[in-house]
Structure 1
């Protein structure tokens, strides 16, 4: 835990007791929940927000927050027994580094080994997340196997992105890519043209490293880049499922879509003893 923060970075606590890191920098305004190491707001100066956060989530302690970029680790969805999307989203992380210059703010949070040992007996990991906040947002999740034998890893940076209206939203860059359709019992399909939305979508695109572009008719597209990722999850719950989600407004599906850098499905990894694997997403309003 660090004691001194750079100018423009402060710690706060909401009325319910949840702790946050607030960034008020000339280049960017942002908010990060320390529990879960989850960035829930990021707006570069002069730009529209890069992330969507549910307006009805009270941000209670010990809950997974609905929006921003939840960390799905060390498994994605229900690929292993235990809580959906793994333990990272509600675990207590520690801030290890905070630094700033004239262009950006850099934060590093770590999931303590004792927290991992408590929740994952017999597994041996070192994991940290780095966030670089400036004219764009970079999130890098780094995992090292510190145990004596290989360990399985699947994960995702579960990025909730804002759209003006889901009816006009489309994703470019996945044309021709193969995907697993979780709404069709895991059937493998091939994307025809841009991804558009007229109902619930829950897909894992695989064997693709392409950058993608999110358009919504507003004239200000979002770009999503991925590194060390050959899979990308696209998700929108639509109306019926959205109504069943916690901390999600009735019309929330109309203003968001998830585009998630991942190592999921066929892209899940086996991390050898002593090996490090990192996963990165870069979200921006300007072309890569």
Structure 2
């Protein structure tokens, strides 16, 4: 970590030795893991948490954390050989800038160049993430191809959102949108109405840029907006898969759903030498009726 932390921000270390940036600001409290550059909680003042984090994850060094917003980069899923969802979510990052004002906190982190050695020899990237944390949470992931060849890029901001009961929640904003069902590999199906989840769901919705809203029966609504993204992943492992996942509580599937700003499926990109691309997600609580 090279940047100086302003008032209200502190570097902490848990009992296992993993390091975090703890944010205590009048407008928000939040925690970001330096390993993985992963925001794991964010609570605007007077509001409920914007993110879900597994209560049984011990947050050990060298592990992918279960919850918050893992950074899936430079590939999504298992689309390339190597660790699932790429190298970014388990690599150490460096804090290069930290600022605060009366409304929010702004942090920028950079993936160390030495971490790129895990990629192919002809791949050269610069990767930076910016967090803007206040009444809403904004995460911007910027990739720049520093190499001499065009490079494929698929990625996601794997946002875990909290729900009181997934069986009484719905997701709107994707009506009529085509999607790929990754459980069956079926393509070009159109979403007939709001999404209701009562089984495992793993879908890539594409050709879509509009806001998406997670509604709950208690009236709480979370809105997800995106930039640099024409695809959105909706994921809930349900009971059988949840039992096979690491650091996932037995009934955890009932308290979360992932709505992920992405460049996945047909929305995967190719960056020419010198080209940059920024993927953005913003999450906020909005008025609603459930």
Task: Name the TM tier (shorter chain).
Answer: over 0.9
Q: Which residue of 2 aligns with 1:158?
A: 158
Distance 1:3 1:185 in 2: 45
Q: Cα deviation per residue 1:120-155 (whole Å; 9 max; x = unaligned)?
A: 432100000000000000000000001111110000
Q: Which residue of 2 aligns with 1:95?
A: 95
Q: Which residue of 2 aligns with 1:284?
A: 284
Q: Which residue of 1 aligns with 2:7?
A: 7
Q: Which residue of 2 aligns with 1:54?
A: 54
**Residue aligned with 1:140, SS:** strand
Q: Which residue of 1 aligns with 2:38?
A: 38
| Mapped contact 2:19–2:34 kept (Cα < 8 A) | yes
Give runs of aligned pairs for residues 132-211 of structure 1, distance below 5 A.
Answer: 132-211=132-211
Give runs of aligned pairs for residues 196-235 of structure 1, distance below 5 A.
Answer: 196-235=196-235
Q: Cα deviation per residue 1:151-192 (whole Å; 9 max; x = unaligned)?
A: 100000000000010111110000000000011124331101
Two-structure CA RMSD over aligned residues (Å)? 1.0
Q: Which residue of 2 aligns with 1:109?
A: 109
Deviation at 1:2, TM superposition (A): 2.3
Between stretches 151-160 and 106-115, larger displacement belongs to: 106-115
| Mapped contact 2:4–2:97 kept (Cα < 8 A) | no
Distance 1:194 1:150 in 2: 38
Q: Cα deviation per residue 1:10-54 (whole Å; 9 max; x = unaligned)?
A: 000000010000000000000000000000000000111000000
**Residue aligned with 2:108, SS:** strand
Distance 1:217 1:94 in 2: 40
Between stretches 213-222 and 135-144, larger displacement belongs to: 213-222
Between stretches 232-241 and 113-122, larger displacement belongs to: 113-122
Deviation at 1:3, TM superposition (A): 4.7
Deviation at 1:119, TM superposition (A): 4.1
Give unmatched runs, 5+ long, in structure 2: none
Distance 2:15 2:186 in 1: 42
| Mapped contact 2:3–2:96 kept (Cα < 8 A) | no
Give runs of aligned pairs for residues 232-243 of structure 1, distance below 5 A.
Answer: 232-243=232-243
Give unmatched runs, 5+ long, in structure 1: none
Deviation at 1:117, TM superposition (A): 2.6
Q: Which residue of 2 aligns with 1:27?
A: 27
Q: Which residue of 1 aligns with 2:267?
A: 267
Distance 2:114 2:120 in 1: 10
